[in-house]
Amino acid sequence: MQFNKLSFWSLLSDIDINTITIPIIQRAYTQGGREEDSKIEEKGGKFLNRLLEALENKSKPILLDFIYGSKIKKQFFPLDGQQRLTTLFLLYWYIAQKENKLDNNVISTLKKFTYKTRQSSRYFCEHLCQYTVSSNRKEKLSDTIKNEKWYISYSWNSDPSIRSMLSMLDKIDIALKNNDSLYWDILTTDIENCPITFFSTSLEELNLTDDLYIKMNARGLELTDFEKIKAEFNQKIDEEKWDEKKDLTQKFGHRIDTIWTDLFWKYKNEKSLIDDALVNFIAGIAIYNYAIHYTSDEKNEIEERIKKLANKPEEVSPEDFNKIGYDYLVNCLNLYAQNNYNIINTKTDLWNYKRENNTLFESFIIDKPDNKDKITYPMRILFFAQTEYLLRNSFEQEKFDEWMRVVRNIIENSTADSATTFISAITLIKELSAGTNDIYNYLLTATIKAGYGKKQIEQEIIKARIILSNPNVNKQVIFDTEDTNFCKGDIDFVLYCINYDINNISSFDTESLTKLKDIIKDELDINEKMTDDFKRAFLTIKDNDYYNKNWFSWSSSFECHKRYLLDKNSDLVSYFAKSKDFTIKNYLKDLLTQRMITKSFAEIADTYSIPAGMPKWKVKLIKGEIKFFGATYILIPNDDSYCLLAWQRRPSKEEQVEEISND
């Protein structure tokens, strides 16, 4: 392999090289020193002394170790030699500005040396190239630089490479500030006379990767998923010129190392890394972009990509974004970083659509796809709804809660368990978001085109009409009713129970709804299991056979029909409240209507007049002479001569049932 003898200036001046780029895979510059490692500082100091000795004694030039790298599209990426090249860059700049050599040509040549490990390092070097130090300064060089308007202290002070560069500049300044010797011409002349040279080569036949670097240089740092993504984003943003017209402080590379890092810092993992949280956020926004800009001809491809990113967010790529998507990502990051919206919560119960005690923001970024904490599609939809509100409005708690409540109700009573249904839901929420700041008025005036959640949308319109007809009276009782576990946002059955006519707003009876809501909340919500008193009362309704109105089968073991007595109060919703058969729906309506005029379900059963011909076993159950003891199944022969209570779905032995006879 052929090595070329070069000086730092000849390397920079090579017409076949546009930039000398310290790649993302390199560690930070350290030769200037680190507070936590005095050995590094001592080593860097010795290297600087060797350079200065070569300048002072031209008869003893220094030939540095080999510097090699990869040359790709006129960019030279050092695989080894980053530390030495950076120190040379600082020395050349210092001498150039000290000897008043910083003309346009020198500045543009020095600017060919750049960093990609951090955008802050890159911008610092760019500014330094064209900076001339005041001749009458009294403070340290590093302090002078830090006091300049172009120095962004809150960002650059935390960059380890910049801190080390400033430290090295102080060392150079101490050595050369009062030295009247002139070095620039000798440093930029022909190679044979330059006192500081090195051998270099370009490994053009190899691709630059972090694996290659680690094999060649054991000091290399293995990149995290986020570092790789960040590098890819910076490259695409530069290529597409997405940030071309932005000020430095508004550019992606700057903000991701500063204000956006601050946003995610409180969510760092046990290794003090924010990578997972930030990658989850970026992948989540990519998923929204796909859903928002979905087209039918890309259906399969988009759905597969959404599923992939939902399960493996670390595979997100700049290729998941176009300019519109990129702008949306930046807007979302700025929104949560600048307004502290990551800590907001609704006063509305969002049920299981966020992790306990976490905000929606936290639930969105702390995604663990490999365990039970995986973020669900409904959670993603809720966070999208929150973000749409915040992007469109100044925050107002009441309006925000009303918006989130409507979205919650739609999600709960619709299906959102796949990429297909997720896209449909996002399409609807995007359409509804035009009315985020006054959702109830919007529902009454807009024509909703999206087909997702159509039935629940119709109900939300009904509720909006009731609420707006008398907000001070009606709103809270509607909210309290839909917040019950029994209703979970769907109050269609409850309105049916109080005989509300959707075509006649005056038929809405606040008092009746309040009474029914209290019964549901106090007696059906408080216990997960259905009580024996409720089952007793339910047996008094219509033909005393509510168990015939849901599930039944044949028991071969006992040669009779087996019915479901119901187990949980949620069974009432599944089998009765949501039934499309009004004959079945009326069983539960009649019972609840009676309960509204009595003290308890027990009283309904206790005061019930037994009809002639009712089997004795049924009388015993209604009147409480025999307890259900939580039985969930009942087996009844065709002649009604007895019944068997069972506690499991497939009883097969006598000891698994309890007989109630007609004796």
- The one-letter amino acid code at 235 reads Q
User: Cα(88)–Cα(83) distance, rounded to whole angstroms?
Assistant: 9
SS3 label, residue 75? strand
Residues 6+ away with beta carbon under 8 Å from 554: 560, 561, 562
Domain ranges within the chain, ordered by starting residue? 4-221, 532-661
- The pLDDT of residue 3 is 64
Q: Are 381 and 292 in contact (CB under 8 A)?
A: no
Q: What is the 3-state secondary structure (H, E, C) of 362-373?
A: HHHHCCCCCCCC
CA–CA gap between residue 180 and residue 651 (Å, rounded):
103
Enclosing H/E stretch for 432:
helix 419-432
Query: Alpha-carbon distance 351 to 358, whole Å?
Result: 12
What is the spatial distance between Cα 250 and Cα 338, in angstroms, rounded to a whole number?
Answer: 12
C-alpha dist (Å) from residue 442 to 62, 127, 446, 449 = 77, 52, 6, 13
| Helix/strand/coil percentages in the chain, nearest 5 | 55, 10, 35
The beta strands (E) that lie in 510-594 are given as 552-555, 560-564
What pLDDT was estimated at residue 338?
94
Tens-digit pLDDT profile for residues 556-606 = 999 999 999 999 999 999 999 999 999 999 999 999 999 999 999 999 999
Query: Rounded to the nearest 10 degrees, how much is the dihedral formed by the CA atoms of 97, 103, 106, 110?
Result: 60
Angle value at C-alpha 40, between 34 and 45, nearest 5 degrees? 100
Distance CA 512, CA 362 (A): 40
Tell me 99's DSSP state: T
How many helices (H) does the chain have, and how many strands (E)?
A: 30, 11
Secondary structure (DSSP) of 607-634 = TPPPPTT--HHHHHHHTTSS--TT--EE
Do 621 and 545 touch, CB atoms closer than 8 A?
A: no
DSSP state of 220: P
Which residue type occupies 121? S
What is the rounded distance in angstroms from the CA atom of residue 260 to the CA atom of residue 265?
A: 9
d(CA 344, CA 354): 13
CA atoms within 13 A on the CB side of 206: 18
Q: What are phi and psi of 555, to 5 degrees?
A: -100, 110
Task: Write the DSSP assignment of 494-512 as a string of letters.
Answer: HHHHTT--TT-GGG--HHH
Calculated CA dihedral for residues 108, 110, 113, 117, nearest 10 degrees: -100
For residue 438, what are its two tokens? 């006054």
SS3 41: helix
The distance between the two most distant Cα atoms of the chain, rounded to a whole number of Å, is 125
The answer to whether residues 384 and 439 touch, using CB atoms and an 8 Å cutoff, is no
Distance from C-alpha of 302 to C-alpha of 326, rounded to nearest angstrom = 17
Residue with tokens 């430290």, as numbered in its chain? 167
Angle in degrees, 0-180, between the axes of helices 275-292 and 323-339, rounded to the nearest 10: 130
DSSP characters for 340-392? -GGG---SS--TTSS-TT--HHHHHHS--TTSTTPPPHHHHHHHHHHHHHHHH
pLDDT digit string (tens) for 311-331? 999 999 999 999 999 999 999
Q: How far apart, in whole angstroms, are the C-alpha atoms of residue 16 and residue 393?
A: 52
Residue numbers of the chain with a pLDDT score lower than 70: 1-3, 25, 34-41, 117, 202-224, 270-272, 367-372
